[in-house]
Structure 1
Amino acid sequence: MSTRDQRSIWRRMPVEQMEDEEERNAGGKLAKSLGLWQLTAIGVGGIIGVGIFSLAGLVAHGDADNPGVGPAVLVAFLIAGLASAAAAVSYAEFAGMIPRAGSAYTYGYVALGEVIGWFIGWDLLLEYIAIVAVVAIGISGYLEALLDGLGLTLPTSITASAEEGGVVNIPAVLICLLVTFILSRGTKTFGRFELVAVAIKILLILAIIGLGVFYVDAGNYDPFMPAGFGPVLTGAATVFFAVFGYDAMSTAAEEAEDGKQHMPKAIVISLVIAMLLYVAATLVLTGMQDYREIDPTAGFASAFESVGLSVIASIISVFAVLSILTVMLTFLLGVTRVWFSMSRDGLLPRWFAQVDRSGTPQRVTWIAGIGSAVLAGVFPIRAVADLTNIGILSAFIVVCVAVILFRYTRPDTPRSFRLPFMPFVPAFGVLASLFLIWQLPWETWARFGVWLLIGFVIYFAYGRKHSLLDPDSPNHRRPVER
């Protein structure tokens, strides 16, 4: 690579140099402690949670800005899942080649150039923090339902955002800080907790489906699509939030015991398990209760209340809190690993790339956790969910484009998994993601644009000059020659 190329914003990080940087990072290395089933649990933990327990009810019932789609929420999940699957196999191919912290940021940096890597990394910092906030708001809704069932009603001033008539959502703030504490205890501890919690979550959902099917009234499925197909597409853009936890799991690739073999398998297995459970759960939810009466913040709790099973509703609320915690843990892990990776590469201050004795980046963990607590405390759930979705869909577009280009520019790079029907599958992923982005409201586009503008200012003022690839940078490393 010439000196001129090294100063270009399109310079690419060689795969070999990324592997070398893992060993040379002055801040320390991430601990390798995750096996196949722990990785799969992280993926399932990130996918299944608020989608079933909160967003399914929200999209089915509707809100002030969007009509309810009724039983067609099932179709919304299938559309979102199909789009997600195309991106999932693209992630799987990259994860089998580059088992390194950073996920889409790393893949964009390697295949498309530094400025694209920065764009997607900066995007993911906001989106993952926003996801943690969305989930915390969802948990807060179930806590309220649980306490209401016990005859205790918390004042709206401490359980809702200003836009919803409150001041600060205190339970959501405290939940964010609790999850941050758990993750700060180390990846090994987190992995064990996630495995147990996800097992409990799957058993809970199977129990809900198994019991709820006896209370399904076929009349509740008519009309199946009460508002037409347009709102279903908008709903798909919203519930897309619920079908992409595997991308956050891929940020932990560097902490896998055998990332090249285990990461692709874990990505595919986790998405298949999640979609099967989503299909069954949405059929039961909209079959048990008329979609117009579903509580948009605690769907299954209200469904069981409607058939006289208030005790079951309370049990669901308790276990929903535990199961949704795994989503928060997965995405908080994701943001800290992307942040760590960008800092190690010099695009952000390397102060953030410090790890403690257990191999955990404590600084970014607590900063991200506090940031998510602020978002959860002051914003309503749908606004944060839409902001999350536009960012993740943008990441999917980058990864799908990158996997096509990298297949042709670096065909000899060893791949433990090769996605089928290249380039049609990733091309479909690009088109589907663009279509879902188009369904999101203009306010979401505006907020996202402001965040990206701030990011590009930081990149040109700091990141470009301090990148490991810049020959004038104090952090410069000579690229590895093939």
Structure 2
Amino acid sequence: MDIFRTQKMSSVLNHIGENEKTLSILDLTLMSIGSVIGTGVMVLTGIVAATEAGPSVAISFVIGAIAAMVIVLCYSELSSNIPSSGGSYTFTYVTLGEILAYVSGLCIVIAYLLSMATVASGWGAYLTSFLDVFNIYLPKAITAIPSQGGFVNLPAMFSVVMILFIISAGTKDSKKFNNAMVITKIVVIFIFLLVGVFYVKKTNYEPFLPYGTSGVFTGAASVFFAYCGFDATASAAPYVKNPKKALPIGLISSLAVCAAIYVGVSLVLTGITSYKNLNVPDALSYTLKLVGRSNVSMIVSLGTIIGILAVIFASNFATSQIMSTMSRDGLLPKVFSKKNKKDVPIVSLWSVGLVGAVLAGFCNLKDLANFASIAFLLVYGMVSISVIVFRKKYPDIKRSFKTPLVPFVPILGAGCCLFLMFNLKLNTWIVFIIVLCFILISYFLYGKKHSIIKENDTLKEAKKDEQN
């Protein structure tokens, strides 16, 4: 069937000039940490603890880390051998076929779009908390979404637009800004841990599983969102100096760092105060205020304001690259592959960014995060299976990194994704299925008809007819 036609690996590799290959192993690792650590630890940790897992949210993070590590092992092999800006979309196109690649590409775009909006919402909350220290109180009408009694969250929208301008300046210039944001974020988290650990009370861990074991797994499905960021790293592959070495190191090392930080923060956060008090979007600074450390809370808020921007950066970077690649393949309108003088897919960048800004200004943070999780999980499951197909389809490629224990590890990765998906709530599934139907409809109405592969096949058939 032509809907399962695949791309040849040689046709998807990006031809980037050597002057544009500016990302080192450190740059890539920081980008990966920057795309992962953000709202997951600074916002969602408290909300998931309060509503789903209690203090056992630390276990939820461990479960999420195990699932993420299995998937990262699959990503490492594919991204190091298929260094394309399409990320998951390209991996599935080369292995599983066009229709699944189309679904994968748009699911990742939607997931990062919602991730960006979620992160921007958290950024707005931390900005408000920081200004409160100086007795500067912004009107609720412009700092809260309609469902929370406001009109629009303008700070959240501003954060997205600011990052769009930074990325528009090009990879070489924007990476310096991104590295600074990531380092600031890590420093802030360590300040919180070093100060907060002295205010931990064992009584706050009782009961440790207030929502039972089902709450732990539901929490794991929600906080898995906190580990999503692999595609942002994979999408940067064409701009990496040594992708075969840098990508596996960047992906695996960044996940290990992130998992340790998540577990540490969740234990300190739920140890400082009862989990019931943590249903707030600025949990880290909030708990420090509770114990009378307003001065440290101010530092954490300021650092978080700077650091969280790295996630918005990574989300916008990944979505613009993926949409541009899909456009070049004919699956999206050609306008989305248009680039500026700095080789930035400017139309894709601003189209997705502005939609994300609107969502951040008007929509509920938790609902966005849950939907992003299920979209990411579907794509990661497909990428895991892609490794098995890739091994069979290209057995003779010299691989700098090989996913261990194939096919066991990829099957385990896909199984983890399915397990976490089925632990998400019914309303999340209903919305996801509706969106999935629209994606499939758009493929048959546009993507299938305009596919470059289809056009090439048609030209080949026409030449054969002429020769005959």
TM-score (normalised: structure 2) = 0.94
Distance 2:205 2:458 in 1: 64
Indicate the residue corresponding to 2:50 in structure 1. Answer: 61
**One-letter identity of the residue aligned with 1:278:** Y
What CA deviation, in whole Å up to 9, does each residue of 1:379-401 have, x standing for no partner? 11001101111110001110011
**One-letter identity of the residue aligned with 1:12:** T
More helix by share: 2
Q: What is the aligned residue count? A: 462
Deviation at 1:410, TM superposition (A): 1.9
1:140 to 104, 124, 134: 124
Question: Where does 1:119-130 land on structure 2 (aligned, <5 Å)?
Answer: 119-130=103-114
1:340 matches 2:324:
yes
Indicate the residue corresponding to 2:355 in structure 1. Answer: 371
Indicate the residue corresponding to 1:231 in structure 2. Answer: 215
Question: Where does 1:240-279 land on structure 2 (aligned, <5 Å)?
Answer: 240-279=224-263
Moved more, 447-456 or 117-126: 447-456
Asked if the contact 1:295–1:302 (Cα under 8 Å) also holds between the matched residues in 2, the reply is: no
Moved more, 188-197 or 149-158: 149-158
**One-letter identity of the residue aligned with 1:391:** A
Asked if the contact 1:88–1:246 (Cα under 8 Å) also holds between the matched residues in 2, the reply is: yes
**One-letter identity of the residue aligned with 2:46:** G
Indicate the residue corresponding to 2:292 in structure 1. Answer: 308
1:84 to 65, 68, 73: 68
Distance 2:413 2:171 in 1: 31
1:15 to 4, 9, 24: 9
Deviation at 1:472, TM superposition (A): 6.3
Asked if the contact 1:246–1:270 (Cα under 8 Å) also holds between the matched residues in 2, the reply is: no
Moved more, 239-248 or 94-103: 239-248
1:418 matches 2:409:
no
Distance 2:241 2:216 in 1: 41
Question: Where does 1:193-212 land on structure 2 (aligned, <5 Å)?
Answer: 193-212=177-196
2:100 to 116, 124, 129: 116
Deviation at 1:447, TM superposition (A): 2.2
1:47 matches 2:47:
no
**One-letter identity of the residue aligned with 1:313:** S
TM-score (normalised: structure 1) = 0.92
Secondary structure, aligned partner of 2:236: helix
Secondary structure, aligned partner of 1:296: coil
Moved more, 286-295 or 357-366: 286-295
Secondary structure, aligned partner of 1:223: coil
Indicate the residue corresponding to 2:56 in structure 1. Answer: 72
Asked if the contact 1:470–1:476 (Cα under 8 Å) also holds between the matched residues in 2, the reply is: no
Distance 1:448 1:202 in 2: 33
Secondary structure, aligned partner of 1:413: coil
The 1:178–1:299 alpha-carbon spacing in structure 2 relative to 1, beyond 3 Å, is same
Moved more, 174-183 or 38-47: 174-183
Distance 2:357 2:230 in 1: 23
1:283 to 267, 271, 283: 267
Distance 1:175 1:198 in 2: 16
Moved more, 147-156 or 203-212: 147-156
Asked if the contact 1:467–1:476 (Cα under 8 Å) also holds between the matched residues in 2, the reply is: no
What CA deviation, in whole Å up to 9, does each residue of 1:252-276 have, x standing for no partner? 1111122222111111111011111
User: Which structure 2 segments of 5+ residues have no match?
Assistant: 463-468
1:319 to 293, 296, 303: 303
Asked if the contact 2:4–2:98 (Cα under 8 Å) also holds between the matched residues in 1, the reply is: yes
Distance 1:448 1:163 in 2: 22
Percent identical pairs in the alignment equals 35
Asked if the contact 1:176–1:369 (Cα under 8 Å) also holds between the matched residues in 2, the reply is: yes
**One-letter identity of the residue aligned with 1:269:** S
State the 4+ residue runs in structure 1 displaced beyond 6 angstroms: 472-478
Distance 1:198 1:464 in 2: 40
**One-letter identity of the residue aligned with 2:47:** L
Asked if the contact 2:191–2:300 (Cα under 8 Å) also holds between the matched residues in 1, the reply is: no
Moved more, 91-100 or 199-208: 199-208
Deviation at 1:44, TM superposition (A): 0.2
User: Which structure 1 segments of 5+ residues have no match?
Assistant: none
Secondary structure, aligned partner of 1:376: helix
Distance 2:461 2:70 in 1: 35
Moved more, 106-115 or 170-179: 170-179
What CA deviation, in whole Å up to 9, does each residue of 1:76-122 have, x standing for no partner? 11111111111111000101110111111010000101111111001
**One-letter identity of the residue aligned with 2:39:** V
1:357 matches 2:341:
yes
Moved more, 347-356 or 359-368: 347-356
